[in-house]
Chain A
Amino acid sequence: MRNINKWIAAGLVALTVMSYIILHAYQQNQIYNHTKLVIYRDGEIYDEASLSKEVHKEITVRTGDHFNIIEIKGEAVRIKEADCPRKICVDTGWLNKPGQIAVCIPNRLKIVIEGQSGNVDDIAY
């Protein structure tokens, strides 16, 4: 029964590839005219900013004594600086697709790129 090892290894590789394909398909499916950045603090919406080519700004979010600096550059967003211990949120790097998320668990902060469909504009037009 040496085969069982090979089967499990193949299964794990297949699972990894599958998860990539599913993620890719999920992100491809989300076609929006605009994207926006939503910042959550303590699970509640703290701020929103729509993302377009011209935007370039920084938002500082304070949570108690702690801070995270969020940088918006065109359609991409990142957490530029933070005072949390392991800087996982900073290491996450740039986000630019709807559904992408960066979290800073010590500071209870979460930033997500969400899609904004352009339907409302179309109807108004």
Chain B
Amino acid sequence: MTTKRLVLISLFVAQAAALSIVERFISIPVAIPGVKLGLANVITLLAILMLGWKDALLIVLLRCSLAAMVGGNPISFLFSICGGLSSTVVMAVLWQKIGRRLSIIIISLLGAVAHNTGQLLVAALIIQDLRVYVYLPVLLISALITGYIVGVITLRCHSALKKNTDLTAG
């Protein structure tokens, strides 16, 4: 592990935590329960692209814990960690297996879908009622929109960062 890599990981953790905390104050003007933009996923995806899945998982775990410590609660922690882990696993597997053929936006879209379905599964388990899946259509639409936005942002950040960050040096 080079110093540069270590610095990059810690920067990513800090940025992701800040994004998920700030995001709580952005309310989306649509009457959908529990929809968020998921800007922290930009960092998750960037980490998968630049550092690999192990560090990406570490960053997600640290981000969720940090965000929970700043004004979170056990339930929101459970939801963010389950959603975060399911989207990270899906995006990481896609990137490892067929990454070269997929566009970053598509990976982000699938990650957002995994995030929302994963959270619904947690809700269904906690409440012990599969009927919460009546919200699946709405959450799928929101996943497509937020996944697209996150994908575009990640694409831009990635191409800008690639020019200036050489992980093999330093």
Contact = CB atoms under 8 A, between A and B. Distances in A.
Interface residues of B, number: 29
Contacts of A40: 129
Contacts of B129: 40, 101, 103, 110, 112
Interface stretch (A5-13, A48-56, A68-76, A117-125): A5-13
Contacts, number: 73
Contact of A8 (B102, B127, B140): B102
Q: Is the interface of B mostly helix, strand, loop or mixed?
A: helix
Given A43-B128, A91-B33, A4 B137 contact: no
Contacts of A12: 109-110, 113, 140, 144
A23 B126 contact: no
DSSP majority for the A interface?
mixed
A101 B123 contact: no
A19 to B, nearest CB: 4
Contact of B140 (A16, A86, A92): A16
Interface in B64-79: 73, 75-76
Contacts of B144: 12-13, 16
B101 A1 contact: yes
5 contacts: A4-B101, A16-B140, A19-B140, A85-B75, A88-B34
